[in-house]
């Protein structure tokens, strides 16, 4: 009944274990070796020259490429359905490099407002210094995206699940709009991971991640990655920075020469080379270990998140729960479309009682870790108004979708009744302080 | 864009691998001596991996140390693969010549998409690959594409030779 077939398309769970990680041809090592080396010896001067000319795929220097990092890159590219990927020292570095590669001074970006605060800072301040301006739009309003388009608009940017208000982005509709105007769509898919949503399948052109979060899962390593679908036509006249001969690489026209791989070749051989935020081989190795269990972890993350959200939704001291998979959520329809397995495991809820209530609640927790990260196997909690967003005025907090009593959770993979027991302890602490 | 037919018919992974292994001589139609052109990158790569390269380009006299010919019909040696870097509209005529010189395959690079050209090659008994880069496919299955983080779509637990 079966026939000889050497070209099988393997499933997600197989690829998360295998993609990018073939046995080491030198030693037979089955695990990906940690190539902890700065540089690589050339066979001869001819091959050295062909590596630097990009005529042959070769290793030169670990700021630009490294075999352990490459295994990580190929694995995430496979899971996202991209043509390739480039790893970086952090998610924020990955995103900066992704934009830097495609933009010129005077260009314009349209971005969702419901995104990570670090990204807002990067766009608002760092890219402003490079004369790139950003228009901020309500991600839920397609007309707002359309109206923000200018002649010099070169990019649409948003997050699959917005931070911190858990907006679910209508990726397909926004991608169609972007492509009608020859503009690429870049999506930060950190909160979903490629297991819950693959933006490229909905038309996104570039996907970025903070690998620090669910990709690794263990909270040991900082890293980021840029994945390219390979589908965007950079030679449409809007992107001379990619299509025209590059003075930074002896006149090479990246899109013409490398076709669908042109953007990533430029990202690696120019932007990474010149900005230098390379991922370390050890971190790539740790991310590879994490990715082997991505689907299994994410199934538990979303099951726990849904149970916690339902528990909070019923609680008298909670005024609002912002979890898109809840039936009452305004994002429920989009969540069912883009995130049918579950809308991630990071969300916020609002306590009755404001800022003091938020601090008291957290002080009653002993299992949930009070820290500023998300996407760990351990459950994490933070009170934005008194920590990450404490410099903001009340009005600015409201604009950011954060109330005085807002708590952000990153639900881990521990036993669910233990997580709920600890939240109960927090509510008891809150009641004992009688803040109401 | 330019295609109205199912080009994936001409992207069979098994055929691609068979051609990479069985081909010795490749006539590159449209090979340029400009070291920054994609055709030059591909020609140099294939040559360094042991294939005999025959430039077919009336505008060139010699590329990569090999004499260039005006048309496929002028090539004096046996050609296994005809590799095309030309506008899609030029493909049918090239395909007819590829059939006439009894090449065994017709490989059309990225965006060289022309259904009629593919059918001419196919009817003439040639294996046809379309909208794929021979360098990329070689690097995917035999070479070192995975060293630069590209998605080779290859999953294997078999230990292979040194690269």
pLDDT in tens, A365-410: 999 999 989 999 999 999 988 887 777 777 777 877 888 899 999 9
Q: How large is the ipTM?
A: 0.91
A20 to chain B: which residues are within 8 Å by CB?
Answer: 146
Residue of B nearest to A24 (CA): B159
The pLDDT score that the predictor gives to residue A435 is 47
| pTM for the model | 0.94
Paired with B130 in beta bridges are: B108
Which residue of B35, B159, B163 is in closest CB contact with A28?
A: B159
Q: What is the mean pLDDT of chain B?
A: 94
CATH number of the domain residue A423 falls in: 3.90.1150.10
User: Please, are residues A109 and A141 in contact by the beta-carbon 8 Å criterion?
Assistant: no
- Is residue B114 situated within a structural domain? yes
DSSP string covering A267-325: IIIIIIHHH--PPPHHHHHHHHHHHTTHHHHHHHHHHHHHHHHHHHHT-TTEEEEE-TT
Looking at the fold, whether A301 and A256 belong to one and the same domain comes out as no
Residues counted in chain A:
436
- Is residue A110 situated within a structural domain? yes
Residue B140 in tokens: 């995917």
Looking at the fold, whether A261 and A330 belong to one and the same domain comes out as no
- The 3-state DSSP class for residue A265 equals helix
Which residue of B41, B133, B150 is in closest CB contact with A55?
A: B41
Q: Residues B6-14: what's their mean pLDDT?
A: 92
Inter-chain residue contact A7 with B13, CB threshold 8 Å: yes
Q: Residues B76-86: what's their mean pLDDT?
A: 98
CA-based radius of gyration for chain B: 15
Residues of chain A predicted below pLDDT 70 = 1-6, 434-436
B50 to chain A: which residues are within 8 Å by CB?
Answer: none
- Is residue A5 situated within a structural domain? no
B163 touching A (Cβ < 8 Å): yes
- Is residue A64 situated within a structural domain? yes
Task: Provide the edge-to-edge strand list for the sheet that holds A380-382.
Answer: A318-322, A346-351, A406-410, A380-382, A369-370
CA-angle at A51, arms to A46 and A57, nearest 5° = 125
The pLDDT score that the predictor gives to residue A434 is 61
- Judged by phi (left if over 0) then psi (alpha if -120 to 50, else beta), residue B146 lies in alpha
- Is residue B108 situated within a structural domain? yes
How many Å lie between the alpha carbon of B68 and the closest alpha carbon of chain A? 21
Domain boundary among A291, A320, A339: A291
Residue of A nearest to B1 (CA): A233
Instruction: Calculate the alpha carbon distances from B104 to A33, A320, B19, B73, B123 in Å.
Output: 41, 68, 9, 15, 12
DSSP string covering B52-89: EEEEE-TT-SEETTEE-BSSGGG--S--SEEEE-S-GG
B151 to chain A: which residues are within 8 Å by CB?
Answer: 19, 74, 77-78, 82-85
B147, B152, B156, B158: best mutation site toward chain A, by most A Cβ within 10 Å? Answer: B147
CA nearest neighbour of A133 among A151, A157, A114, A110:
A110
- Is residue B1 situated within a structural domain? no
Inter-chain residue contact B149 with A77, CB threshold 8 Å: yes
Domain boundary among A252, A274, A291: A291
Instruction: Calculate the alpha carbon distances from B85 to A256, A396, B6, B109, B160 in Å.
Output: 12, 57, 20, 6, 32
Chain centre to alpha carbon of residue B85: 8
The pLDDT score that the predictor gives to residue A41 is 96
Interface contacts A/B by beta carbons within 8 Å? 115
Instruction: Give the CA-trace dihedral at A39, A40, A46, A50, to 10 degrees.
Output: -70
CATH number of the domain residue B106 falls in: 3.40.50.720
- Is residue A347 situated within a structural domain? yes
Domain that holds residue A227: 12-291
Give the other-Cβ count within 10 Å of A408's Cβ.
23
User: Please, are residues A423 and A317 in contact by the beta-carbon 8 Å criterion?
Assistant: no
Instruction: Calculate the alpha carbon distances from B94 to B24, B39, B107 in Å.
Output: 20, 16, 11
Burial code (b: 16+ CB inside 10 Å, e: under 16) for A314-351 equals ebebbeebbbbbbeebebbebbeebbeebbbbbbbbbb
The pLDDT score that the predictor gives to residue A433 is 82
Q: What is the DSSP letter of A234?
A: T
Residue B84 in tokens: 């095309």
Cα separation, A409 vs B39, in Å, equals 53
B130 to chain A: which residues are within 8 Å by CB?
Answer: none
Inter-chain residue contact B157 with A18, CB threshold 8 Å: yes
| Widest distance between CA atoms in chain A | 77
| Backbone phi and psi for residue A135, each to the nearest 5 degrees, phi listed first | -100, 130
- Is residue B115 situated within a structural domain? yes
Looking at the fold, whether A274 and A173 belong to one and the same domain comes out as yes
Q: Residues B79-90: what's their mean pLDDT?
A: 97
**A4 contacts: CB under 8 Å, gap ≥ 6:** none
User: Please, are residues B7 and B16 in contact by the beta-carbon 8 Å criterion?
Assistant: no
How many Å lie between the alpha carbon of B91 and the closest alpha carbon of chain A? 19
Cα separation, A283 vs B38, in Å, equals 35
Inter-chain residue contact A74 with B151, CB threshold 8 Å: yes
The number of distinct structural domains making up chain A is 2
| Backbone phi and psi for residue A185, each to the nearest 5 degrees, phi listed first | -110, 125
B36 to chain A: which residues are within 8 Å by CB?
Answer: 245, 250-253, 257
B136 to chain A: which residues are within 8 Å by CB?
Answer: 259, 261
Inter-chain residue contact B44 with A55, CB threshold 8 Å: yes
Inter-chain residue contact A56 with B36, CB threshold 8 Å: no
- The 3-state DSSP class for residue B115 equals helix
Cα separation, A353 vs A89, in Å, equals 40
Residue A265 in tokens: 């070749």
Looking at the fold, whether A209 and A306 belong to one and the same domain comes out as no
B45 touching A (Cβ < 8 Å): yes
A30 to chain B: which residues are within 8 Å by CB?
Answer: 157
- Is residue A4 situated within a structural domain? no
How many Å lie between the alpha carbon of B49 and the closest alpha carbon of chain A? 10
- Is residue B100 situated within a structural domain? yes
Domain that holds residue B53: 8-135
Looking at the fold, whether A401 and A284 belong to one and the same domain comes out as no
B143 touching A (Cβ < 8 Å): yes
Looking at the fold, whether A93 and A214 belong to one and the same domain comes out as yes
Inter-chain residue contact A23 with B151, CB threshold 8 Å: no
Residue B16 has pLDDT above 80, yes or no: yes
Looking at the fold, whether A254 and A327 belong to one and the same domain comes out as no
Domain boundary among A291, A314, A334: A291
- Is residue B124 situated within a structural domain? yes
Give the other-Cβ count within 10 Å of A302's Cβ.
21
Looking at the fold, whether A231 and A348 belong to one and the same domain comes out as no
Cα separation, A251 vs B122, in Å, equals 38
Residue with token string 């881990």: A412
Inter-chain residue contact A84 with B157, CB threshold 8 Å: no
Q: From start to end of A356-421, where are the E strands?
A: 369-370, 380-382, 406-410
Cα separation, B163 vs B160, in Å, equals 9
- Is residue B159 situated within a structural domain? no
- Is residue B143 situated within a structural domain? no
Task: Label the pairing between strands A380-382 and A406-410.
Answer: antiparallel
B92 touching A (Cβ < 8 Å): no
Residue B161: pLDDT band (50, 70, 90) is low
The number of distinct structural domains making up chain B is 1
A56, A211, A249: best mutation site toward chain B, by most B Cβ within 10 Å? Answer: A56
Find residues 55-74 of chain B whose CB sits inside 8 Å of chain A. none
Asked whether the bond before A164 is cis by omega within 30 degrees of 0, the reply is: yes
Which residue of A6, A28, A57 is in closest CB contact with B139?
A: A57
Cα separation, A270 vs A251, in Å, equals 12
Looking at the fold, whether A282 and A165 belong to one and the same domain comes out as yes
Residue B63: pLDDT band (50, 70, 90) is very high
B48 touching A (Cβ < 8 Å): yes
B48 to chain A: which residues are within 8 Å by CB?
Answer: 50, 55-56
Looking at the fold, whether A203 and A326 belong to one and the same domain comes out as no
Looking at the fold, whether A284 and A308 belong to one and the same domain comes out as no
B148 touching A (Cβ < 8 Å): yes
Inter-chain residue contact A84 with B150, CB threshold 8 Å: yes
Residues counted in chain B:
163
A50 to chain B: which residues are within 8 Å by CB?
Answer: 44, 48
Looking at the fold, whether A350 and A274 belong to one and the same domain comes out as no
Give the other-Cβ count within 10 Å of A72's Cβ.
32
Residue A256 in tokens: 């013409």
Inter-chain residue contact A259 with B154, CB threshold 8 Å: no
CA-based radius of gyration for chain A: 23
- Is residue A6 situated within a structural domain? no
CATH number of the domain residue A209 falls in: 3.40.640.10
């Amino acid at each position: 009944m079966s026939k000889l077939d050497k070209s099988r398309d393997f499933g997600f769970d197989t690829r998360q274990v295998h993609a990018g990680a073939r046995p080491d041809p030198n030693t037979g090592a089955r695990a990906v070796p940690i190539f902890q080396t700065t540089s690589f010896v050339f066979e001869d001067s001819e091959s050295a020259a062909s590596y630097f000319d990009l005529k042959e795929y070769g290793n030169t220097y670990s700021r630009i490429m490294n075999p352990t990092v490459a295994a990580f890159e190929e694995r995430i590219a496979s899971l996202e359905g991209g043509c390739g990927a480039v790893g970086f020292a952090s998610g924020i570095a990955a995103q900066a490099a992704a934009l830097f590669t495609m933009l010129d001074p005077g260009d314009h970006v349209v971005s969702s407002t419901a995104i990570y605060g670090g990204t807002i800072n990067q766009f608002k301040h760092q890219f402003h210094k490079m004369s790139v301006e950003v228009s901020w739009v309500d991600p839920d309003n397609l007309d707002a995206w359309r109206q923000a388009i200018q002649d010099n608009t070169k990019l649409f940017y948003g997050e699959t699940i917005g931070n911190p208000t858990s907006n679910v982005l209508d990726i397909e509709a926004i991608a169609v709009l972007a492509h009608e105007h020859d503009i690429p769509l870049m999506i930060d898919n950190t909160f979903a991971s490629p297991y819950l949503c693959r933006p490229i399948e909905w038309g996104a052109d570039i996907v970025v991640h903070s690998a620090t979060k669910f990709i690794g899962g263990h909270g040991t390593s900082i890293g980021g990655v840029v994945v390219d679908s390979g589908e965007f036509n950079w030679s449409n006249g809007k992107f001379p920075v990619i299509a025209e001969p590059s003075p930074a690489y002896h006149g090479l026209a990246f899109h013409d020469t490398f076709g669908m791989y042109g953007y990533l070749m430029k990202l690696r051989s120019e932007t990474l080379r010149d900005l230098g935020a390379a991922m370390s081989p050890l971190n790539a190795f740790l991310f590879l270990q994490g990715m082997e269990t991505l689907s299994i972890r994410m199934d538990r993350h979303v099951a726990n998140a849904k149970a916690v959200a339902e528990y909070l939704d019923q609680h008298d001291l909670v005024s609002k729960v912002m979890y898109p998979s809840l039936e009452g959520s305004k994002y429920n329809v989009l969540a069912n479309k883009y995130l049918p397995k579950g809308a991630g495991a990071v969300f916020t809820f609002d306590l009755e009682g404001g800022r003091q209530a938020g601090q008291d609640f957290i002080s009653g927790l002993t299992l949930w870790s009070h820290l500023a990260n998300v996407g760990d196997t351990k459950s994490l909690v933070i009170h934005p108004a008194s920590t990450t967003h404490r410099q903001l005025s009340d009005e600015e907090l409201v604009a950011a979708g954060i109330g005085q009593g807002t708590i952000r959770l990153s639900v881990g993979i521990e036993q669910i009744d233990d997580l709920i027991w600890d939240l109960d302890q927090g509510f008891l602490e809150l009641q004992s302080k009688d803040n109401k | 864009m330019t295609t109205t037919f199912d080009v994936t018919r001409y992207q069979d992974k098994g055929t691609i691998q068979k051609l990479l292994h069985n081909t010795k001589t490749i006539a590159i139609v449209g090979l340029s001596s400009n070291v920054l052109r994609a055709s030059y990158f591909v020609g140099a790569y294939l040559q360094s991996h042991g294939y005999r390269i025959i430039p077919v380009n009336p505008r060139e006299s010699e590329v990569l140390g090999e004499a260039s010919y005006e048309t496929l019909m002028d090539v004096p040696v046996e050609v296994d693969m005809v590799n095309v870097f030309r506008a899609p509209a030029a493909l049918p005529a090239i395909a007819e010549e590829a059939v006439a010189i009894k090449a065994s395959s017709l490989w059309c690079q990225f965006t060289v998409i022309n259904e009629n050209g593919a059918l001419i090659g196919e009817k003439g008994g040639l294996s046809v690959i379309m909208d794929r880069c021979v360098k990329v496919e070689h690097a995917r299955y035999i070479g070192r594409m995975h060293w630069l983080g590209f998605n080779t779509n290859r999953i294997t637990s078999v230990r292979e030779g040194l690269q």
